[in-house]
Amino acid sequence: MSTQAYIYDAVRTPRSKGKKGGSLNEVKPIDLLGGLLRSLQERHDFDTGYVDDVIMGCVSPVGEQGTDIAKLAAQNADWAESVAGVQLNRFCASGLESVNTAAQKVASGWENLVVAGGVESMSRVPMGSDGGAWASDPAFVIKTGFVPQGIGADTIATLEGFSREDVDAFAMQSQKRAAFARDNGYFDKSVIPVKDANGLTILERDDFIKPDTTMEALAGLKPSFEMMGSMGFDDVMLKKYNSLSKINHVHTPGNSSGIVDGASAVMIGSEQAGKDLGLTPRGRIVAGAVLATDPTIMLIGPGPAAKKALKTAGLKASDIDLWEINEAFASVALRYMRDLDIDPEITNVNGGAIAMGHPLGATGAILVSTMLDELERRNLKRGMLSLCVGGGMGISTIIERL
């Protein structure tokens, strides 16, 4: 690697229910992300004209999130007109893909400072607003055997033997860990309150977490994908996984990631950028990897992606101090830990998307901030971030605290 890609800062908005009544429903995506960029600038008082590019993930890039929200948000934040912007979409990996792409741009020496992250206002631009052949072109759906992610998650649980109680227990732990971390200020460094044009606070901290969750309450929830499965998706799945007699539908709203609104931004730059702007790096990007696995079960990519990243970096799993696996569904995280043979005690130590929600395009870069904060708090060195991705893809990034 010719140039190191340093992380100068990583910030995010708090997350809130991504539906009518959610605290951030009143905030336009362009303001949610624009406000975050503005705060990032104010935090470091740097010349935005120094930024080469703004790369933002967004999974439903239509309507209010349409055209190129990265460029528009930079304009909305009154950043210099020389700053370019691009929106990208690698489904749920979009936020981390932005980070990896930014790191590559810097490491290649092409660019000096890139702001990467993502935004998703799921309350204003609901999932699926963008259509796409993936799930709605009959010829393609039949050819590729498309199955909704939740059924993939249920299939993983069935294959791995995770019971309803296992996945609920994992969800419970996510809630408790997230509530503890939030209430003890572990997120305060990176969570920037969302304010209105008058400077009044709209949302200060994550308000999606349900700290009072109980196993009984979780057990009472209906499986989300049973009906869909019975309509034929289970059969599609079982055709491929033909050693199974049926799919055990264990996932519910309680043990799946929450639908929320949120945005994230990570400043990634060269050593020179830090010198020029008087910034001290908090960490660096060690390596990243992306790959694809079976698109039908869809959610088993993170383990292989993490291994690929380790290989690229010349590291072993034991070199990683903390792990973050996006909690799209409980079974995804459980399977990831099993794939890599890692200790649950050093994985998702402050909870994850089951408790705090998964603002699709933003999540990957949110993980950078939670990981970096925790590495600093625990005085540890290396962290691995992974997400499962639509189409069977997986993505991982290794970061190192400095």
Partner 1 sequence: MSVFKYEKDADGIVTITMDMTGPVNSMNEEYEQAMGETVEKLEHEEGLSGVVITSAKKVFFAGGNLHGLLAFQPGRDEQRFMDSLDLIKGQLRRLEKLPVPVVAAINGAALGGGYEICLACNYRVAWNDRSVQVGLPEVTLGLLPGGGGVVRMTNLLGLEAALPYLLEGKKLDPERALKAGLVDKTVDSLDQLVPAAKALIKEVKDQPDAAVQPWDRKGFKIPGTNINSPKMAQVLMVGPTMLVKKTRGLMPAPAEIFSCATEAARLDFDTALRIESRGLTKLVGTPEAKNMITTFFFQLNKINSGASRPKGVEKKKVKKLGVLGAGMMGQGIAYVSAKAGIDVVLKDISVEAAEKGKAYSEGLLDKAIQKGRMDPITKQQILGRILPTASNDDLAGCDLIIEAVFENFELKNKILEATENQLAENGVWGSNTSTLPITQLAEASKKPENFIGIHFFSPVDKMPLIEIICGDKTSDETLALAFDYTQQIKKTPIVVNDSLAFFTSRTFGTYLDEGVRLLSEGVYPVQIDNLGKAIGMPVGPLQVHDEVSEELTRKAAETWEAMGMKDRWGERKATEEVISWMIGEHGHGGRYHGGGFYEYAGKERKIWQPLIDRYYKADHGISEDDIKDRLMFRQVIETLKCLETGVLRTVADGNIGSIMGIGAPPHTGGFLQYINTYGAQRFVDRARELAAKYGERFEPPQIVVDKAAAGELFE
Q: Which of 58, 249, 251, 358 is catalytic?
A: 358
Q: Which of 44, 58, 92, 251 is catalytic?
A: 92
Instruction: Map residues 317-356 to x or -, x wherever contact with partner 1 holds by CB under 8 A.
Output: ----------------------------------------
Instruction: Choose one: 141-149, 198-206, 349-357, 390-398; the region binding partner 1 (CB under 8 A).
Output: 198-206
- The interface with partner 1 within residues 46-85 (CB under 8 A) comprises 63
Instruction: Choose one: 24-32, 155-163, 349-357, 393-401; the region binding partner 1 (CB under 8 A).
Output: 24-32
314: CB partners within 8 A, 6+ apart: none
Helix (H/G/I), strand (E/B), else coil: 237: helix
Please report, as a single letter, which amino acid is at residue 260: V
Which one of 2, 143, 197, 216 is in contact with partner 1 (CB under 8 A)? 197
Helix (H/G/I), strand (E/B), else coil: 44: helix
Instruction: Map residues 149-188 to x or -, x wherever contact with partner 1 holds by CB under 8 A.
Output: ----------------------------------------
Considering beta carbons, is residue 20 or 246 the nearer one to partner 1? 20
Q: Which structure tokens are listed for 339?
A: 């794939």
Beta bridge partners of 323: 347, 384
Q: Is 231 in the site for partner 1 (CB under 8 A)?
A: no
Q: How many residues bind partner 1 (CB under 8 A)?
A: 12
Closest separation in Å from C-beta 202 to partner 1: 9
Q: Is 139 in the site for partner 1 (CB under 8 A)?
A: no
Q: Cα torsion at 43, 49, 53, 59 (round to 10°)?
A: 50
Which one of 4, 25, 75, 272 is in contact with partner 1 (CB under 8 A)? 25
- Around 179, how many Cα atoms within 13 Å sit in the side-chain half-sphere? 12
Helix (H/G/I), strand (E/B), else coil: 200: coil
Please report, as a single letter, which amino acid is at residue 176: K
Helix (H/G/I), strand (E/B), else coil: 106: helix
State yes or no: is 358 an active-site residue.
Answer: yes
Q: Is 20 in the site for partner 1 (CB under 8 A)?
A: yes
State yes or no: is 58 an active-site residue.
Answer: no
Which one of 124, 251, 308, 358 is in contact with partner 1 (CB under 8 A)? 124
Contact of 245 with 4, CB cutoff 8 Å: no
State yes or no: is 388 an active-site residue.
Answer: yes
Which one of 2, 138, 200, 314 is in contact with partner 1 (CB under 8 A)? 200
Residue whose structure tokens are 């809130």: 16
Considering beta carbons, is residue 115 or 122 the nearer one to partner 1? 122
The closest of 379, 377, 376, 371 to 398, measured between CA atoms, is 371
Closest separation in Å from C-beta 199 to partner 1: 7
Considering beta carbons, is residue 25 or 248 the nearer one to partner 1? 25
Which one of 138, 199, 278, 314 is in contact with partner 1 (CB under 8 A)? 199
Contact of 289 with 379, CB cutoff 8 Å: no
Considering beta carbons, is residue 30 or 298 the nearer one to partner 1? 30
Closest separation in Å from C-beta 196 to partner 1: 5
CA distance 389 to 93: 6
Considering beta carbons, is residue 63 or 274 the nearer one to partner 1? 63
What CA–CA distances, in Å, run from 295 to 32, 225, 394?
32, 18, 11
- The interface with partner 1 within residues 210-229 (CB under 8 A) comprises none
CA distance 136 to 162: 31
Contact of 340 with 306, CB cutoff 8 Å: yes
State residue 253 phi and psi, 5-degree precision. Answer: -60, -25
CA distance 180 to 150: 28
Q: Is 204 in the site for partner 1 (CB under 8 A)?
A: no
**R_g of the chain, CA atoms, integer Å:** 20
Considering beta carbons, is residue 197 or 231 the nearer one to partner 1? 197
Q: Which structure tokens are listed for 330?
A: 């409980």
Helix (H/G/I), strand (E/B), else coil: 325: strand
Residues engaged in binding partner 1 (CB under 8 A): 20-21, 25-26, 28, 63, 124, 196-200
Which residues are catalytically annotated?
A: 92, 358, 388
